[in-house]
Amino acid sequence: MTPQPREFSKIWRSHTQPELELLKASFRQFSFNKHWHEELAVGVIERGAEGLNYRGSNILVPQHQIVAINPGEVHTGYAGTENGWQYRMFYFDTKLVTRCLDEQRTNGTPTLTGPIIDDPHLFTQLLTLHQTLELNSLDMTQDSLLTLALQNLFKRHGQSSQSALEKVDQKAAILSRDYLQANWQENIGLDKLCHLTGLGRFQLIRSFKRQYGIAPHQYLLLLKVQHARHLLQSGSSCVDTALHCGFFDQSHLNRNFKNVFGVSPGRYIRAI
């Protein structure tokens, strides 16, 4: 007999984006009373189904779907199946949303069509972002995944016009690359490159990806991993290599090294 999942909940704030609150939870018997959020509430249902009472109707949000509640919308939350639901929620401050969309709005906040969004690619993108924000990862990785997820969320499912610039700036991409190559050991945030180039987050990512085929955070991780490989070849230990290359810890190095070379740093050392 399959054991029933236990109830748990964990809430925290992103260290790179203090305006972002995150929740990871599994509920079977617990239910939320009527309430609203000042923030934009967006979540991914990992397992089971969540029930909502929203705008006077009872709605079921099944697994692998996205739930989206605009600021100020009164709703409840309860188990949609006898086994409950497991999910991850983002609570985006509206100022953070506006900044990530590269918008300067004076006539209100962007809103979503919600409360249910069926978009497998976006579901995976949001799930990856939430998992990344739970682990030790580079500031630029978190910043970039956040910006791209919000851009896709509002581009595909927003109710208001989205004015992120589509222009590609080659000079800004080259300037960003040169800065990353010169400062690869650091935990560089995306805002540092934005300040350097004068571009908004999405335009910077778009320009860099058009020029080099990958996003800035991916480029920075590859620089770190390549330097780590050379250090390991020269006899450096895994711990010293992780510290020298600016990884948070050895597990952070292990995860990214294996993603590139297919083996852990320890196995790589034994092989050479």
Span 117-135, pLDDT tens digits:
999 999 999 999 999 999 8
Q: Report whether pLDDT(184) > 50.
A: yes
Distance separating alpha carbons of residues 85 and 96, to the nearest angstrom: 28
Q: Which has the closest alpha carbon to 170: 139, 199, 140, 141?
A: 199
Residue 164 has pLDDT above 80, yes or no: no
Domain boundaries, the chain: 8-157, 170-213, 219-271
Q: How many CB atoms lie within 10 A of CB 150?
A: 29
Q: In 3-state terms, what secondary structure has residue 163?
A: coil
- Model confidence at 161, in pLDDT bands (50, 70, 90)? very low
pLDDT of residue 165: 45
**Distance between CA atoms of residues 50 and 67, nearest Å:** 9
The domain over range 8-157 is classified in CATH as 2.60.120.10: yes
Q: Compute the distance between CA of residue 33 and CA of residue 51 in angstroms, rounded to an integer.
A: 12
* Per-residue model confidence (pLDDT) at position 35: 87
Spatial distance between the Cα atoms of 201 and 2, rounded to a whole number of angstroms: 45
Whether the predicted pLDDT of 83 surpasses 60 = yes
Mean pLDDT of all residues in the chain?
A: 89
Residue 47 pLDDT more than 60? yes
User: How high is the pLDDT of residue 108?
Assistant: 58
Topology alike, domains 8-157 and 219-271: no
**Helices then strands, each counted (H, E), the chain:** 10, 9
Tell me the pLDDT band of 98, cut-offs 50, 70 and 90.
confident
Q: What is the distance between the alpha carbons of residues 267 and 232, in angstroms, rounded to a whole number?
A: 11
Does residue 160 carry a pLDDT above 80?
no
Given a cut of 50, whether residue 105 has pLDDT beyond it is no
Return all residues near 118 (Cβ < 8 A) that are at least 6 apart: 65, 66
Q: How confident is the model at residue 252 (pLDDT cuts 50, 70, 90)?
A: very high
Class (C level, CATH) for 219-271:
mainly alpha
Sorted by sequence, the CB contacts under 8 Å of residue 200 that are 6+ apart come out as 102, 164, 165, 194
- Strand stretches in 93-243, DSSP E: 116-117
Region of poorest pLDDT, from 98-107, 129-138, 157-166: 157-166
For residue 109, count other CB atoms closer than 10 A to its CB.
Answer: 15
SS3 32: strand
